[in-house]
Chain A
Amino acid sequence: MIALILRELRLAATGGAAALPVVFFLLVATLFPFAVGPDGPLLARTGGGALWMAALLAALLPVDRLVEPDRAAGVLDQLALRGQSEESVALAKLIGHWLSFGPPLMLAALPAAALMKLPAEVLLRLELGLAVGTPGLAALTLGVSALTAGLRRSGALAGLLMLPLAVPLLIFGAGLVERGSDAGALPLLAAVSLLLVAGAPFVAGAAIRAARD
């Protein structure tokens, strides 16, 4: 299990694959003020939600590299031969993927928040929301990645599958940023994220098995 998680981290590090979502996230954060204009209060009011949108779209980027290369190369078959259940392989992938996705995104949120002129307490709520929400985003990416593995031109389909499922994360994540934790957004965000994290290994495991036939 640890060897599998380390392998995921190594794969994420090769070729800068892990940097891609972070760079994309920062790019959106840079573009948004250009689009809205240099209106500080307006940016501060809408910036948190925009950053959650950016995080959501950034989570889409690794969809084609999480499962499909391993399926095509026979790595998943070889793991099955060694008695690893597809669910535990998916769990290892989930942990490895989150480690290469969640913390870097939370770091990138610091300069992004500065670009949006977010006040310190809003930034704190954004970081809290990302800490709770990115495992859910990573789980969604993994599940959709496994479901679309082996399909040609799966990118667009992956987006169609994933973005509607991510709506609760977006609502409660952005709600937490905007209204603070007294509105009850944090426990709901945590609940959705937990549900996704708990379900993804089973969905991904079943999808990997089904792709063999």
Chain B
Amino acid sequence: MTALLRLEAVTCRRGGRLLFEGLNLALAPGEAAVLTGPNGIGKSSLIRLAAGLLRPAAGTVEAAPAALADDKLALDEARTLHAALGFWASLDGRGPRMAILAMGLGHLVDAPVRILSTGQRKRAALARVIASGAPLWLLDEPANGLDSEGQERLAAAMAEHRAGGGAILAATHQPLGLDDAREVALA
């Protein structure tokens, strides 16, 4: 089985500072890994490396098409939730409807993105990931700001994604309800 994400001897430098070096990580379909470690250790940088948004100082990164949810919402504030998510979903050749329902945002489809609360924004970002259909999910603090119901929906969505042959790399300080996920502790 080919890996959806493969990091080999990856070294990451930001602003002249060494964050980590010689990191190896591979995720096969259905697998999940949880990144843990203190603030500033490079969890978000590792996520961005996997997304191809940063280049490693050394080593190789190979990744399947990925969807990213970080602290940036990337939805047009003036548009309705349905239209804003629909923009990305249409680039991915899909519809946003199922993902909006999966994250419990059904009552907000016609609301403009700018009025959404912190937790609702997080849900919207996760809905963007779900709607992407990408085999690899890169989640940076996906449970931040989510209430317990939102966390359950996130856990259910992640379980379904893995059951469908997807892989997940998540950086978090909270339990995510990812069964038998590998823990990668950066230190």
Contacts and interface: CB of A to CB of B under 8 A. Distances in A.
Interface of A: 3, 7, 10-11, 14-15, 72-75, 77-78, 80-83, 212-213
B9 interface: no
Interface stretch (B17-25, B47-55, B175-183): B47-55
Contacts of B134: 81
A82 to B, nearest CB: 6
A85 to B, nearest CB: 12
Given A212-B53, A213-B54, A78 B76 contact: no
Chain B interface residue bracket vs A: 20 to 34
A10 to B, nearest CB: 8
Contact of A73 (B73, B92, B128): B73
Chain A interface main SS type = helix
Contacts, number: 51
Interface of B: 14, 48, 51-54, 65-68, 70, 72-79, 87-88, 90-92, 128, 134
24 contacts: A7-B87, A14-B78, A73-B72, A73-B73, A73-B74, A73-B75, A73-B77, A74-B70, A74-B74, A75-B74, A77-B51, A77-B68, A77-B70, A77-B74, A78-B68, A78-B74, A78-B128, A80-B53, A81-B65, A81-B68, A82-B91, A212-B48, A212-B53, A213-B14
B19 to A, nearest CB: 13
